[in-house]
Every structure is written in C-alpha cells, then in structure tokens.
Amino acid sequence: MWPGNAWRAALFWVPRGRRAQSALAQLRGILEGELEGIRGAGTWKSERVITSRQGPHIRVDGVSGGILNFCANNYLGLSSHPEVIQAGLQALEQFGAGLSSVRFICGTQSIHKNLEAKIARFHQREDAILYPSCFDANAGLFEALLTPEDAVLSDELNHASIIDGIRLCKAHKYRYRHLDMADLEAKLQEAQRHRLRLVATDGAFSMDGDIAPLQEICRLASRYGALVFVDECHATGFLGPTGRGTDELLGVMDQVTIINSTLGKALGGASGGYTTGPGPLVSLLRQRARPYLFSNSLPPAVVGCASKALDLLMGSNTIVQSMAAKTQRFRSKMEAAGFTISGASHPICPVMLGDARLASRMADDMLKRGIFVIGFSYPVVPKGKARIRVQISAVHSEEDIDHCVEAFVEVGRLHGALP
C-alpha cells in the first residue's frame, strides 16, 4: 500500500535526467519559436566576418576583392593608424596583457592614471574614471549618484545603455519627447520637488544622426536648478572645432556637468569608456560604481592605443576639419539622387527606407557591389523606421564616397526605393 497520496506522486514521477531533458527540450522549443519570429519579421541580424584590419578598405569572408566600409564608428580612421598600433604594442610589451584584477585591488597601473588625467584635460573637466565600456559607464553612473530623493529626466530616444543605467537607479524617472524642449520644461517644472534634477541626453543620437539642442537644455537646466549629463560616444573626437564634442560644438562646455563617452569609436576603436566631471563625483564612482568595482581593468594595449589617439587629436585638428566636407558631400549627393537622409551635418547618415526587409536586402546587394553597410530595423529602431546607416570616416576619399552613392542609386532603383 502507498502511504497517503504517495501513489499519486508515483504516477507522475520522472527520473531526474529525463526531467532535465524535458526542460531543455521545452527551452529549445521556446527559443526556436522566438528565433523564427525574428526571421519571419525580416529583422534577423547576421554577422559578416572581416578578415583584415578595420579601415575604409577591408576584406570580408566569402566576398572576393576589397570592400569599402561605410558602417564603422571609426570616425577619425585611427583604428589602424600606425602610431596607434605601435603605442598598443609598446604598452603590451611594457605592462603586459592584462591586470587579472579590478582597479581597487591590484589593477591600477600608471598608464591608467595617465589616461584618466589626459581625458579630463581633453574635456576640460576636473577628473575622469575609466570603465571597460561606455555601456558600463552609463550602468555605473545613475545608481551611484541618484537616490530616491532625486529625479532624472531622459530623452525618449536616448541610447539603450542610458535607459538601462537609469533603470538601475532609485530616482524618480521622467521621459521627455525627443528633442522637445517644451516637454522637457514641463517635466522640469514637475520635478521641482526633488532634491537633485539631472537631465540626461545623448549629444548625438546614433540612429538618426541628430544633435541634442544643448544650448536650450542648459538654459532650462539653469532656470530650474538642474544638472546636465551628456553621452558623447558619437561626438567625442570629431564634433566641435577641436573634436571635444557637442558641448564644444554648441558652446556650452562650462554648462554640462557630466560627460560619459567611449574609447571604442573615434579614439582608437578598441574598447573602454569613461566618465569625466567634478572631482568629488569621480571619487564617489570609484567607491560605488558597480561596473568599476567588479570589472577587470582595461588591458594595457587598449590604454596605450587610446592614449596615443588622444595625443594625435590634441596635436592637430586637421583630421577633424576634414569630416564636415566629406559628410556634406555624401549627404548632398544622396539627397539629390532622391534618398531621404535623417539628421543634419553628422557623419552618421541614415538612409531612411521604412521596411525592414527592404533595408536588409539592399544592404546585401550593396555588399555585392563592394560596399559594406548594414540595415537597421526593430528593435534597434522603431517599427516602420528601418534604414541603412551610413557612417563617414575622415579616411574615406572623395572617390570612395562617390562610389558608395553610385552603388546606392543602382541598388535603390533595383528594389524600387528610387524611381
């Protein structure tokens, strides 16, 4: 006889190994359904394999001949600059492959401190702190700085890392409509009851190539006693007369309190991010920012490359000045051909197409014509706003740009995007 209801349990008893297999089979079924939904929506993202250094001219696995690259964040062309590479090799030789430690245990070398000081000087701020990426810098800032007594006001189209970082903090959260200063002012009025008010915005928005109206944001922040935070990942190194970013471009360097940016785009393109701003804030982040406290230090080679990139940038603004003319050349020729290009005067030049499948297929056909570009669709951009994001680099030649435009016109006509 089975005691109590044990006989019922016995009927449904499955050996442990079989239960695990059943759970795994269930998981596989769920995941395959999700993946099939992505494929069916035309938003599947494939990874093309590059078999050369990053640069304007690359080689791609499975594609014969050289390829023109128009979708890297390599704004200044420093990813494969010989002096940047040599600096990385020297740092690797002198300081090793890595630290095997977080910063506060035994992971801080002289080159880390020197780079932080150089970043602070570059941005004309008091201090700076390094992170493995700017995603980590954004993940570390808001939680460490803001409390339930405070408020953060965020542009609705801010980068995912800003959104995720804000989610981690306990401050009151306000979201204002994209670049809508009337809505920001209304939210600032509503947030007056809080201790600190922090307005958070991208300097340049990476999907649309538009630039935050920092003059108006800073004016409103001053009126309502708020601080201003700007993510400069798509501005550092090439916007403004000397490449300091959107705050320099718009003349508000003394009014922006906190800047987060990256070493992984214009400044060498390897990896790493940072926060720069008031000294006490940086000191607090060293004590409380979880991505800083619980992540390994940046590898010496990455630090060496970024430091040399900053040296080159601070030594001459010639490369910065070449960006505007090349960007204008691409934008004007594409618009003359009949394409809609989002944003204005930024080397991010989104070719707006609307349909996700169209963007993906056109990008594939561009590769067949020797042009490397990528289609962007939901969830990276809103539904119905699919586009091919073209990015101009200082090391693209005029001939490179003209060839890219010609290929777009041919492919656009092939797919009905142009008459």
Domain extent at residue 254: 82-315
Does one domain contain both 257 and 172?
yes
Query: pTM of whole model > 0.85?
Result: yes
Does one domain contain both 301 and 358?
no
Q: Is residue 28 part of a domain?
A: no
Q: Is the pLDDT of residue 13 over 80?
A: no
The shares of helix, strand and coil residues in the chain, as percent rounded to the nearest 5, are 45, 15, 40
Does one domain contain both 283 and 383?
no
Does one domain contain both 307 and 321?
no
At 309, which CATH number? Answer: 3.40.640.10
Question: What confidence tier does 44 reach under pLDDT thresholds 50, 70, 90?
Answer: confident
Does one domain contain both 63 and 97?
no
- Strands of 249-382 (E only): list them: 258-262, 273-277, 348-354, 371-372, 374-376
Domain endpoint, select from 315, 337, 359: 315
Domain count, the chain: 2
What is the mean predicted confidence (pLDDT) over 31-53? Answer: 89
At 401, which CATH number? Answer: 3.90.1150.10
Q: Which residues are catalytic?
A: 206, 234, 265
How many CB atoms lie under 10 A from the CB of residue 354?
14
Does one domain contain both 176 and 141?
yes
How many CB atoms lie under 10 A from the CB of residue 95?
18
How many CB atoms lie under 10 A from the CB of residue 155?
24
Contacts of 270 (CB under 8 A, 6+ apart): 79, 88, 263, 264, 301, 302, 305, 306
% pLDDT > 70, the chain: 95
Tens-place pLDDT, residues 191-244? 999 999 999 999 999 988 999 999 999 999 999 999 999 999 999 999 999 999
Does one domain contain both 285 and 351?
no
Q: Is residue 2 part of a domain?
A: no
Q: Is residue 295 part of a domain?
A: yes
Does one domain contain both 62 and 116?
no
Q: Is the pLDDT of residue 50 over 90?
A: yes
Tens-place pLDDT, residues 361-412? 999 999 999 999 999 988 888 889 999 999 999 999 999 999 999 999 999 9
Does one domain contain both 369 and 255?
no
Determine which helix (DSSP H) or strand (DSSP E) holds 408, and give its type and residue range. Answer: helix 398-414
Strand order through the sheet with 371-372: 57-58, 67-69, 371-372
Q: Is residue 174 part of a domain?
A: yes
